[in-house]
Amino acid sequence: MRRLWSAAVELLGRREPADGLALFRIAVGLCMLYSIGSMAAAGLDQVFWVDAADGGMLELRSGDHWLIRALGGPRAPVIGALVPLGLLLALLVTVGAGGRVVLLIAGQVYQAIVRSDPTIIGGYDLLIGNALWILFLAGATATLSVDARLRRGSWRPAVEIAAWPRYLLILQILAVYTTTGLSKLGVPWTPAGGFSALYWVFQEPTWRRFDMGWTAAAPAVLVLQVATALTWIWEISAIFLLLFYYYRATPARPGRLRALCVRRDLRLGFVAIGVALHLSILLTLNVGPFSWISVAYYLNLFHPDELRALARRRPLRAGGEDPAHMDSIPGGRDPR
């Protein structure tokens, strides 16, 4: 128990360059901007987020968030004020101005807007809200931000922040994928249904961007069956990527799977499948910013030093995602 406690203390005490989380902050700000802005640009903010008494589509009553209730419910004047405020806050998050206060307020305002009608809230809304909360806890405007320029005289000062927020974000996206896969228990997602789920998705006109009738032809059906199987298996197994991090942190221990994880960067395959999946969704279906925010979370799968290496097209080190901390888990040590 003492060893586990010591390992937990060491894990929570880790620090790393702030660049990685700053890039994620920028991506989250842009996703928030798109999520609110796309609704406002189409005039749908006054349709879906406003109560029927003020001209909205549904009777929303008081909404599903403390802020919207405190302001009197999803009335037209309230949403008319919150939407531009949300856009302004999204811009401030993106450029990194206002520090933790802006991140905290942005998270609450965003949730107030999207929860004004809880029947249409999407998984991407939860991902954006959770990201803003963790960015607030992390203090993610330390670099690549207006704050950094004002406080340190540089847009990109070499500063460090706690690493545990990034670890939480890794757990968040992997948990989302795995629970999503586990929830797909309908027969069309399984061999019993011929892996026909994506075939039926493309025959349903609600979400598709254009006519997909051609996917009913035999060659396309086979491709969709393979894609369905790959998507389902990939989602369910996502949580096992945590083993990759554990094995790379304990390279001295025995085991063929550990040796494979030390030699090969399995994250690259995981990310490649994920990017292909979300690119396909973006091209064929209109499901909001789900793909954008999901891919944004991928930035956290890599240590900031690894992101720099990838940007410079240098190979990642086989010894671990954070070589300086390979001895952080009991039994793990740097073999050099």
Average pLDDT over residues 209-224: 92
Tell me the C-alpha distance between 139 and 162, whole Å. Answer: 9
pLDDT value at residue 276 = 97
Which pLDDT does position 323 carry in this prediction? 38
Question: Rounded to whole angstroms, how far apart are CA atoms 114 and 45?
Answer: 10
**What is the enclosing helix (H) or strand (E) of 269?**
helix 266-284
Residue 336 in this model has a pLDDT that exceeds 80: no
What residues does 17 pair with on adjacent strands?
A: 160
Tell me the average pLDDT of the chain.
Answer: 91
* pLDDT above 90 coverage of the chain, percent: 82
Distance CA 262, CA 321 (A): 10
CA atoms within 13 Å, Cβ hemisphere of 229: 10
Band (8; pLDDT cuts 50, 70, 90):
confident
Q: pLDDT band at residue 317, thresholds of 50, 70 and 90?
A: low
Section 20-39 average pLDDT: 98
Average pLDDT over residues 18-30: 98
pLDDT score of 303 = 96
Q: Residue type at 103?
A: L
Three-state DSSP class for residue 1? coil
Give residue 313's pLDDT band: very low, low, confident or very high (50, 70, 90).
Answer: confident
DSSP run (H or E) holding 160: strand 160-162
The confidence score (pLDDT) of residue 267 equals: 96
Tokens of 161: 């922040």
SS3 77: helix
Q: What is the pLDDT of residues 86-125, one digit of tens each?
A: 999 999 999 999 999 999 999 999 999 999 999 999 999 9
Question: Between residues 316 and 14, which one has the greater pLDDT?
Answer: 14
Query: Higher model confidence: residue 334 or residue 156?
Result: 156
Q: Count other C-beta atoms under 10 Å from residue 232's C-beta.
A: 20
Give yes or no for residue 208 having a pLDDT over 70.
yes
pLDDT tens string 318-335: 544 443 343 333 334 333
d(CA 310, CA 20): 12
What is residue 318's predicted lDDT score, i.e. its pLDDT? Answer: 52
| Length, in residues, of the chain | 336
Q: Identify the CA nearest to 159 among candidates 172, 145, 178, 169.
A: 145
Q: Which amino acid is at 214?
A: W
The rounded distance, in Å, linking the Cα atoms of 323 and 303 is 10
pLDDT of residue 35: 98
Predicted pLDDT of residue 11? 84
Interatomic CA distance for residues 255 and 241, integer angstroms: 16
* pLDDT tens figures, 244-299: 999 999 999 999 999 999 999 999 999 999 999 999 999 999 999 999 999 999 99
DSSP element (H, E) containing 305: helix 304-311
Between helix 76-95 and helix 19-41 the angle, nearest 10°, is 150
Return the pLDDT at 332: 42
Cα maximum dimension of the chain: 69
Q: Where are the alpha helices (DSSP H) in 42-122?
A: 45-48, 66-70, 76-95, 99-114
- Does the pLDDT at position 190 exceed 80? yes
Residue 172, token pair as written in the block: 């968040």
The pTM of the full predicted model, rounded to 2 decimals, is 0.91
CA 119 to chain centre: 21
